[in-house]
Structure 1
Amino acid sequence: MTTQKEIIILGDVEMGGGTLTDDFISDKALSELISEISKKSHPVDLVFNGDTFDFLKCPSIIAGKKSFPRHVTEEISLNKLGLIYQAHQQVFITLQKFLQKKENNVYFVLGNHDHDLVYKSVQIEIKRLLQSQKQVHFPGFNYQYSRVYVEHGHQYDFLNKVNPKHSFLNYKGERILNIPWVSFSLISRFMEMKETHPFMERIFPRPTLFAHHKNLFKKITHWTVEYMVKSIVYYPFRYHYDPTYTYPKEILREFYRRYKDVHWDVDKIVDKFKRKKKRTFNKHQIHVLGHVHDKYLEENMGKVLIHPGSWRDEYELDVKTKKLTPKTKGYVTILVSEDGSLDWKIINHPMTRSSLHLDDVMKDEKKYIHFAAKEENFKFKIF
């Protein structure tokens, strides 16, 4: 049967600004994959399923001054995009070549780390950087074709969901991003910790990490409780004119649950997705989600639900040996035949990386940040 189109889906790439807070170092591997895809004889939809760009943890550098602004204007988002482009220019250039075939298209689905894509000027700039006006698309929260449904999934995570009808806030006469409360707290408080402990966020599962790194757990817990208390009894009064300091009332219950369960990671979203998008789930055959970086596959009654995993630099921590094993990078490919039939695969992109030991990394995180980057031929632009 003749292939009408191929859909290739990658999630959670999280290209940052080439700083300590940038966790994407696989430019070479991703560019090689895109180059391979470019050779295909049939049309390809390349779908980046949210968190393609890590605007959230990318600093803004204006007039030589680095900051993590809480109030994200259009100018700040464009400044961050410029840093991301400079840090990961190889990926952008490879995408340009992919788009030289007029039947190929690139889609950027919204995620919680790249909410800045709602700014039209950011979309226009990405199209300019990729040298394509008609083949680069911003479909919002999901991509749909035939019986394929692709969504990032942060809308099923209480701490990271946004109001699709209210993407912006007004602050001192300027339009700023209306991002989730937890994102505001990340920008205001936790980026300092990320710069101090740049490697730790790459390690999973978190409970195992905290069991071996009790000082880090105490620090995160202390800062979280402090920020939570101030968000209730101090910030609303001190910054009563600032809409970014309001918080959802349900946040107290959510933070108590996470504190009690030692759970500082994103929630699983599969069950919530199937419950809240029941009609969508019934309508489509293949569903691809992101947000949660663990790989997941569910096949039942002709339906397929896939988490292909992340393209960040991440490691699996062995609870007994404390060995850190680099996670593989995967993607989903779906062949759409002329008769509408779908043939899907999950493919791991071949990579060679060294295992590390937690004790060594804890002694000198920056050393191993550089070591990992060197193994993937990545150089940080700003350190």
Structure 2
Amino acid sequence: MSKLKLIFSDFHLGKGKRLANGAMNPLEDFFHDYRFKEFLEHYTQSPYEDFDIELILNGDILNLIQIDYHGHFTSVITESVSQTKIQSIIQGHPVFFNSLRDFLNHPKRALTYVIGNHDQEMLWQGTRQLFEGAIGKEVNWKNSYYQTDGIHVEHGHQYESVNRVDPTRLFLTEGLPEPILNLPWGTLFTIQFIVRLKLIRPAVDKIRPFRHFIWWSIFHDTWMSITQGIKLISYFISTRFSKVRYRQSSLKLTFKILFEASVFPDLSDAARKILRMPDIHTVVFGHTHVYKQLPIGDEKQYLNTGSWTDIISMDLENFARRSRLTYVRVEYDPQGKSIPMLRHWIGRTPIEDDAFGI
């Protein structure tokens, strides 16, 4: 029996590259709807027509934490708030969702969704139903990780203190009229600070290492650096001494957050620990936005799917703005053993596109 698995992460779909009034959307990160459509169409043609193909979306496919709710960015996220937000993403990316629907309209197609930190709102049953309605297929939902055929698939945010979600307390209910999501500090920081900064400097969350950007801004964007620096200090103080118990941040965590934001995240050590399990030969992470293939020990490996969004590296060894459409393709040998490989989709479309997405 011929079968494949195709693993992606970190698409960061927003409300679309143009807003309802025709203006460009500075919060949109995903501009490859047609290339994704072409990718899926490729796997419906010969020799793949009758293959069993499973798509695995490994977190941060939807950039829900950077979607407004009726014009406001709120960190008090109820199920109804999340439902409104995901509807705006579906409306903003019709090509993406229609392509998924067409691809999955086949008895030998399946979709698994592993939740990340930017799409934590997919924990709600209501958002899951809306997503499934948009693609016309039931989804195999995974809150933390997915193990299949010797492969461990996980987004990777749980290995950073900034973005770690408490798996025993996904929702907050005490003293509240209805449940809300229990957000990690990194998500709160994104909603309450980064989103507002991104509205005036859209590339700010794409730059790594962030410390280089800080120094560049001090000399070349001085007034912005001063004003945003003051706001940043004020924000850290307010969260450090917040009167809202579940929104507090310890001083130790605050400094750890600043350090983690200044470097490329590296999940290699986490992968090594998982690979100690005898029945796992490959770990697939996302989250870092940096594609990677690392052999570990005998016949084991760590793969990172990278991202289909831009990365702006200010590191001298990797200085560039780049967007590589990377993914993991899992083939099977005649004995049924899985063979995961890091791949790069090139494709042929679009011939031209809006320069805003370049």
| TM > 0.5 | yes
Q: 1:335 to 1:218 in 2, by over 3 A?
A: farther
SS in 2 for 1:86: helix
Matches within 5 A, 1:235-314: 235-236=242-243, 240=244, 243-248=245-250, 250-255=252-257, 257=259, 263-264=261-262, 267-275=265-273, 277=274, 279-280=276-277, 282-300=278-296, 301-314=298-311
Give the counterpart letter for 2:248 in structure 1. T
Matching residue's letter, 1:124: Q
Q: Percent identity?
A: 21
Q: Which amino acid aligns with 2:355?
A: F
Cα 1:352–1:158 shift into 2, 3 Å: farther
TM-score, reference length from structure 1: 0.80
Per the alignment, residue 356 of structure 2 pairs with 372
Counterpart of 2:183, as a letter, is I
Task: Give structure 2 stretches of 5+ with no counterpart.
Answer: 17-24
Distance 1:75 1:91, change over 3 A: same
| Structure 1 contact 181–244 (Cα < 8 Å) conserved | no
| Aligned twin of 2:163 | 160
How many residues are paired up? Answer: 338
Aligned: 1:225 with 2:233:
yes
Give matches, 1:91-110, under 5 Å. 91-110=96-115
> Separation in 1 of the partners of 2:348 and 2:137?
33
User: How far did residue 151 of structure 1 move?
Assistant: 0.5
TM-aligned CA deviation for residue 185 of structure 1 = 2.4
Distance 1:158 1:312, change over 3 A: same
Q: How does 1:118-197 map to 2 (within 5 A)?
A: 118-133=123-138, 136-170=139-173, 172-197=176-201
- 1:344 shift after superposition: 2.8
- Other structure's SS at 2:132 match: helix
Find the counterpart in structure 1 of residue 20 from structure 2: none
State the 1:139 CA deviation.
1.9
Contact kept, 8 Å, 2:145 with 2:152, in 1: the verdict is yes
Distance change >3 Å, CA 256–CA 126, structure 1 → 2? closer
Structure 1 stretches (4+) deviating beyond 4 angstroms? 216-221, 255-258, 317-320
| Aligned equivalent of 1:69 | 74
Give the Å deviation of 1:318: 7.0
Distance 1:99 1:17 in 2: 23
Q: Distance in 2 between matches of 1:371 and 1:172?
A: 46
Cα distance, 1:351–1:197 mapped onto 2, change above 3 Å: farther
The structure-2 alpha-carbon separation of the partners of 1:181 and 1:266, relative to structure 1 and needing over 3 Å to count, comes to farther
Shifted more, 80-89 versus 341-350: the winner is 341-350
Q: 1:194 to 1:370 in 2, by over 3 A?
A: farther
- Greater alpha carbon shift after TM alignment, 243-252 vs 290-299: 243-252
1:279 offset after TM fit, Å?
4.5
- Alignment RMSD: 2.6
Quote the offset at 1:370 in angstroms: 6.3
Residues 1:32 and 2:38 are matched in the alignment: yes
- 1:144 CA drift (Å): 1.6
Superposition deviation, residue 94 in structure 1: 0.6
| Post-superposition CA distance 1:36-87 (Å, at most 9, x none) | 12332310110111001000111122xxxx0111100111101110110011
2:39–2:347 CA contact under 8 A, matched in 1: no
TM-score by length of 2: 0.86
Relative distance call for 1:38 and 1:165 in structure 2 (3 A) is farther
**Partner amino acid, structure 2, of 1:47:** I
